[in-house]
Chains A and B, each alone.
Chain A
Amino acid sequence: MSLRILGILIVPAIALLFAWFMVMEQHTGRFRASTRNYATGLGVLIAVFAVLSAAGDLLKLLREQRAAAAEVSGAVFTPEMLRLTAFLLATVGFIAALPYFGYLVSFMAYMAAILLVIGYRPYWKLALIAVLVTAFVHVFFVMTFSLPLPRGYLFTGIMGQ
């Protein structure tokens, strides 16, 4: 039940935090009245509707308490959630690695990681797909359309030579 409540509150909480940050920033910073008022107006509206929507969902949950309790009787760390988390971590790792290792290495590693996470087998096909996708990116986007993907500081140096 508490997990479900947490879930219901997470989106309005993010919205409220953001609204608070933006309104505070524009009040504590040297912003003109028009821009402060605009942000404040929007912030108040977000707060009102965030509270209303969260309250509505919580009331609905209270009414369906038994059914909701049965729904969350399982563990948080289901295989699906672990898969999702691993995918997100792989994406974060890719973004961090891209400027340093360049697109060739990063894309290959990222593709391989995703395929591993989603359970694609056998390993040789996994490696082949990673290489083929990276090759496609290189030929189609970099060579044909001249998209300036990062080549990586480690290979080109900070000055990109």
Chain B
Amino acid sequence: MDLAFQGLFIMLQVAWAVPLGIMIGMAIGAMPGLNSSGMLAVLLPMLILLPPEVGLIFTISLYAGGEVGNSFPSIILNIPGNASSAVTATEGAPMMMRGEGGRALGLSVMASTLGAFGAGIMTLAATPFLSSVALKFSSVEICIVILFGLTAIAQISSGGLAKGLMAGFAGLLLATVGTDPMWGTFRGTMGYVYLYDGIPIVPALIGLLAFSEVLRMLTQDMSGVMLKNQVRFRFADLMAGAREVLRMPVVVGRSGITGLIVGIIPGAGTSVATFLAYQQVIAAATPEQKKQIGNGSPEGLVAADCSNNAAVSGTLVPLLTLGIPGSAAAAVMLVIMAYHNLELGPRLFSINGDIAYAVLWSQLFAGALIFVMGSFLAMFAYKLALIPVKILIPIVAMFMIIGSYGANAYVFDIRVMLLFGVIGYLMKLYDYPVVALLLGLILGGLFEGHFNRGLRMGFGSPEIFFTRPIAILLWVLLAMMILGPPLLRMLRNRRRSA
């Protein structure tokens, strides 16, 4: 308890780092095609020179702000900056196009706030317990968790189930390009050294979602601004969207917990959390709500943003308790901790516990600030939609190129963006769900690696996937999630007709 209060005292002394980190993170995230993970790597030399508590708090605040900021170009321009904002783009952009941009931004900012704040409270209260939960997840359980996200492929079928499944499985096969996770052989690299680590996700994402959108804009009427009905931003709309989130406690609670738990699992990441929470919304949707999925579903948008911000807090748990970074920001924090000779691993809380608690308290503070700062930035970000299309396209193209190049500093990645942009354009033209391909691409590598490791744990037999206690629980949850809502609806309809 003493350590917790000491941590609070330390955090209050350097509390200025939180709003500054959030603002910078939001500003970077709000630039279409950019993401805060890449910027963290660039800022690392500066971050390690700061006192350790300042550097750590600044890093995690920047990451949290970036996750919120990424939502703005996703909603306003349909140009996500990272995988976890792909769902935000899928649901938020249609809302923007029909003049509900203020509402969409309000939903996004409030959902992010509640996700960050709720997860902040839980990590502060239960970090040692949560880390023991993380330790119980082996490759078998992680594989099933990823399967939760992959089942969304069958449900994101805007053009028909066959198209969704084809796109999803193609994404899974695309994810095999690179190095075999078990045997180290190169697959599908065609001799390109740049593909040894697999297809770069960020350029592929920017190409599939953003560049394809620019190509579509080129084939449409380019006079005027993107928002044809020129609905101006109204703060009242943003607040109405924010209040609407408070009327979705089930969606918020479920997504927040999902994001936190998935964030705790090392290597899963915010994108898995987002797709998982989204899949839960799809599974629980009524037939009327299902029609809105992919066309501006408020529940889908709230679930995505709530879970990805909750996952930010979740990634702190394995880092602080086990010394295992579960995200790019956590990896940067690990470098900062090592540089300042902080104890890495389970003894951090006993030796440098005050600093660890200061970081956890900062997330609570960040959660409280996100709404205020996010709403303020949203007002300016909305102006992007009012820029004439003929000026917007070159600017967005520039950001997309920088965003694709910035991840690895390879010109090859810009070619990847171009190729996936053309593929994404053709897919959109003929009603193939791009998000399904993206899902397969992002989750496929994780799934294959964990699946193979799980099989090795079971000495080649898949029986292990059905005999471990947590695995059985996860299968039951998966079955309940897929079959439960339609069964419940069927029972309710029968009772009504009877």
Chain A interface (Cβ within 8 Å of chain B)? 7-8, 10-12, 14-15, 18-19, 21-22, 25-26, 29-32, 34-35, 38-39, 42-43, 45-46, 49-50, 52-53, 56-57, 80-81, 83-84, 87-88, 91-92, 94-95, 98-99, 107, 110-111, 114-115, 118-120, 129-130, 133, 137, 141, 145-150
Please pick, from B162, B167, B169, B426, the residue contacting A56 in the complex, using a CB distance under 8 A.
Answer: B162
Residue pair A11, B430 in contact (C-beta under 8 Å): yes
Interface flags, B209-237, vs A, CB<8A=1, else 0: 00000010011101000000000000000
List A contacts of B393 (CB < 8 A): 114, 118
Residue pair B169, A45 in contact (C-beta under 8 Å): yes
Residue pair B398, A32 in contact (C-beta under 8 Å): no
Please pick, from A7, A31, A45, A94, the residue contacting B429 in the complex, using a CB distance under 8 A.
Answer: A7
List B contacts of A22 (CB < 8 A): 173, 176-177, 187-188
Residue pair B432, A11 in contact (C-beta under 8 Å): yes
Residue pair B183, A35 in contact (C-beta under 8 Å): yes
**B422's closest neighbor in chain A, by CB?**
A88
Please pick, from A12, A35, A87, A129, the residue contacting B180 in the complex, using a CB distance under 8 A.
Answer: A35
Residue pair B218, A80 in contact (C-beta under 8 Å): yes
CB distance from B177 to the nearest CB of A (A): 8
Known contacts A14-B426, A115-B390, A147-B405; 14 further A-B pairs (Cβ under 8 A): A10-B430, A18-B173, A22-B177, A32-B183, A49-B162, A52-B162, A83-B219, A99-B411, A111-B398, A114-B393, A120-B391, A133-B394, A147-B42, A148-B409
Q: How far is the CA of A29 from the CA of B406 in the complex (A)?
A: 34
List B contacts of A107 (CB < 8 A): 398
CB distance from B28 to the nearest CB of A (A): 9
Chain B, 159-181, CB within 8 A of any chain A CB: 159-160, 162-163, 165-167, 169-170, 172-174, 176-177, 180
**B211's closest neighbor in chain A, by CB?**
A91
Q: How far is the CA of A133 from the CA of B401 in the complex (A)?
A: 13
Interface flags, B421-453, vs A, CB<8A=1, else 0: 011001101101000000000000000100010
Q: How far is the CA of A84 from the CA of B215 in the complex (A)?
A: 6
Residue pair A34, B414 in contact (C-beta under 8 Å): no
CB of B95 within 8 Å of the partner chain? no
**B223's closest neighbor in chain A, by CB?**
A119
**A111's closest neighbor in chain B, by CB?**
B394
Q: How far is the CA of A83 from the CA of B401 in the complex (A)?
A: 19
Number of interface residues of B (CB under 8 A): 55
**A42's closest neighbor in chain B, by CB?**
B173
CB of B461 within 8 Å of the partner chain? no
CB distance from A103 to the nearest CB of B (A): 9
Please pick, from A12, A18, A45, A84, the residue contacting B165 in the complex, using a CB distance under 8 A.
Answer: A45
List A contacts of B391 (CB < 8 A): 120, 129
Query: A83 and B218 in contact (CB under 8 A), knowing A21-B188, A26-B187?
Result: yes
**B406's closest neighbor in chain A, by CB?**
A147
Residue pair B160, A56 in contact (C-beta under 8 Å): yes
Residue pair B42, A146 in contact (C-beta under 8 Å): yes
Query: A35 and B187 in contact (CB under 8 A), knowing A11-B432, A46-B170?
Result: yes
Q: How far is the CA of A100 from the CA of B316 in the complex (A)?
A: 43
Residue pair A114, B222 in contact (C-beta under 8 Å): no
CB of B455 within 8 Å of the partner chain? yes
CB distance from A5 to the nearest CB of B (A): 12
Residue pair A81, B394 in contact (C-beta under 8 Å): no
Q: Which of B173, B185, B432, B455 has the most CB of A within 10 A?
A: B173
CB distance from A3 to the nearest CB of B (A): 13
Which 4 A-B residue pairs are closest in the complex by CB-CB distance?
A49-B166, A52-B162, A53-B162, A80-B219
CB of B182 within 8 Å of the partner chain? yes
List A contacts of B187 (CB < 8 A): 22, 25-26, 29, 31, 35, 39
Residue pair B173, A31 in contact (C-beta under 8 Å): no
CB of B373 within 8 Å of the partner chain? no
Residue pair B426, A10 in contact (C-beta under 8 Å): yes
Query: A118 and B423 in contact (CB under 8 A), knowing A35-B187, A99-B411?
Result: no
Q: How far is the CA of A106 from the CA of B203 in the complex (A)?
A: 19
Please pick, from A19, A45, A145, A149, the residue contacting B39 in the complex, using a CB distance under 8 A.
Answer: A145
Residue pair A11, B426 in contact (C-beta under 8 Å): yes
**A19's closest neighbor in chain B, by CB?**
B173
Please, could you name 9 A-B residue pairs with CB atoms under 8 Å apart, sorted by A? A34-B452, A46-B173, A88-B215, A88-B422, A94-B401, A95-B415, A98-B411, A133-B394, A148-B409
CB of B483 within 8 Å of the partner chain? no
CB distance from A92 to the nearest CB of B (A): 7
List A contacts of B418 (CB < 8 A): 88, 91-92, 95
List A contacts of B180 (CB < 8 A): 31-32, 35
List A contacts of B452 (CB < 8 A): 34
CB distance from B32 to the nearest CB of A (A): 14
Residue pair B169, A42 in contact (C-beta under 8 Å): yes
Q: How far is the CA of A87 from the CA of B216 in the complex (A)?
A: 12
Residue pair A119, B185 in contact (C-beta under 8 Å): no
Q: How far is the CA of A19 from the CA of B43 in the complex (A)?
A: 40
Query: A42 and B415 in contact (CB under 8 A), knowing A26-B187, A30-B185, A53-B162?
Result: no
List B contacts of A19 (CB < 8 A): 170, 173
Q: How far is the CA of A35 from the CA of B242 in the complex (A)?
A: 47
